Amino acid sequence: LEERGLEGYVALGREGKTPQHEPHQSFPATVRMHEKLQREEGQAHYRRRKGIVEPVNGWIKEILGFRR
């Protein structure tokens, strides 16, 4: 995403769960994403996905029978 100049927000773990540790410095992209998601602006962007992407994922899972 960064190479294309896109501003992405990617989950680093399970939402609502306390992370067990900070991202390791050998993964700089993960560290940058962690820092973005710690800021209030980043959290607001990430929260928007609940109304945009998650309903579509649920619909696809239901139609394809992944919930059975």
- Per-residue burial over 9-26, b if 16 or more Cβ lie within 10 Å, else e, is beeeeeeeeeeeeebeee
Q: Looking at the 3D structure of the chain, how many domains does it have?
A: 1
| Better-scored residue on pLDDT, 25 or 38 | 38
Q: How confident is the model at residue 49 (pLDDT cuts 50, 70, 90)?
A: confident
Q: What's the domain range around 66?
A: 1-68
The pLDDT, as a whole number, for residue 21 is: 67
Residue 23 contacts residue 12 (beta carbons within 8 Å): yes
DSSP 3-state helix, strand, coil percentages of the chain (rounded to 5)? 50, 0, 50
Query: In the structure, what pLDDT confidence band is assigned to residue 29 with cuts at 50, 70 and 90?
Result: confident
Rounded Cα distance between 27 and 11, Å, is 15
pTM above 0.75, yes or no: no
35 pLDDT more than 80 = yes
Q: What is the pLDDT of residue 19?
A: 64
